[in-house]
Amino acid sequence: MSYILGTGYYSNGRNGLDWFAKIWLENTFLFADPLPERIVCVSVGNSHPPYPPMGLDGLTPINVLDLSGNAGHIHQLLGLTKPHKPHHYCGVTATFALLASLAYANECDFVYKEQDCLAFGLWVPQMYEELGGRSMAFGRCRIMGSAQSLFVVRHQFLPTFISYLFRSGSERDQFNLPEHKFSRLQIEMPDQVKYFNFGYDRDRPLNMNDMVWYAQKFTPEELRQLVKLRLINAEDMPENVPLFSNVV
């Protein structure tokens, strides 16, 4: 189970994500067992996350790749929000490809945990148990079908995964969003790719008493519930943040 845990990072200064980053890091080190070989964060738009160079265990390196550019949210490629981005692939696709390439070069698997995603229980062993003999697994959600806030790709499948992200076409098409690419990959390669049987991603309601689960896009009230269950420590929570996520 040697893996790089990859994530992305962007903060516009108004969504509380600099504060939430500490929750994310504590959650990762508390529940990721075994811990990753290293954590790699692709930070875009000059928004450096408050991560130390070494993890909370003093052993796990945290490598932050600071980029001044930002290929943008899918809504910006589609022209739904400003500023418009004239690219064929959005920032999350570029981040997936970069992190997957680093994992391949490092001869290990790639696990992605989005910057607004928290996971509880023995989620790493659960992922690998459900993965079985297949090569990639990810979550579901009612809105998009496939979910991308938490997924795992085995080392030998990484070149196929990276290639598919780009050769499956431009994302300036509302029917070819990154989630759609994951869904089609599962349909085209069912012997290699599967869905998780745990977690919620962006779906609600949450059963926080599940033995293993994950979700993203937490509200302040949901975080307060997690505090009551002693699953997180959320001191000094910012006020007037409706959702701890990059909502464009």
Domains located in the chain, CATH noted: 3-228 (3.90.550.10)
DSSP secondary structure code for residue 149 in this structure? E
Give the pLDDT of residue 246.
Answer: 87
* H-helix or E-strand spanning residue 62: strand 62-66
117 with 149: CB under 8 angstroms?
A: yes
Mean pLDDT of 54-82: 90
Average pLDDT of the chain to the nearest whole number? 94
- What distance in Å separates the CA atoms of residue 78 and residue 142, rounded to the nearest whole number? 22
Sign of CA dihedral 35, 38, 44, 49: positive
Instruction: State yes or no: pLDDT of 157 exceeds 80.
Output: yes
Give the pLDDT of residue 144.
Answer: 87
Residue 111: which of 25, 37, 199, 216 has the closest Cα? 37
Instruction: State yes or no: pLDDT of 132 exceeds 90.
Output: yes
Give the pLDDT of residue 206.
Answer: 98
Residues in Cβ contact with 104 at an 8 Å cutoff, skipping those fewer than 6 apart: 110, 155, 158, 159, 162
Worst-scoring range by mean pLDDT, 152-161, 173-182, 207-216? Answer: 173-182
Radius of gyration of the CA atoms of the chain, in A? 17
DSSP secondary structure code for residue 157 in this structure? G
- What distance in Å separates the CA atoms of residue 35 and residue 106, rounded to the nearest whole number? 16
Band of residue 1 on the pLDDT scale cut at 50, 70, 90: confident
Residue 201: which of 129, 116, 109, 134 has the closest Cα? 116
How wide is the angle at C-alpha 199 spanned by C-alphas 178 and 135, nearest 5°?
Answer: 55
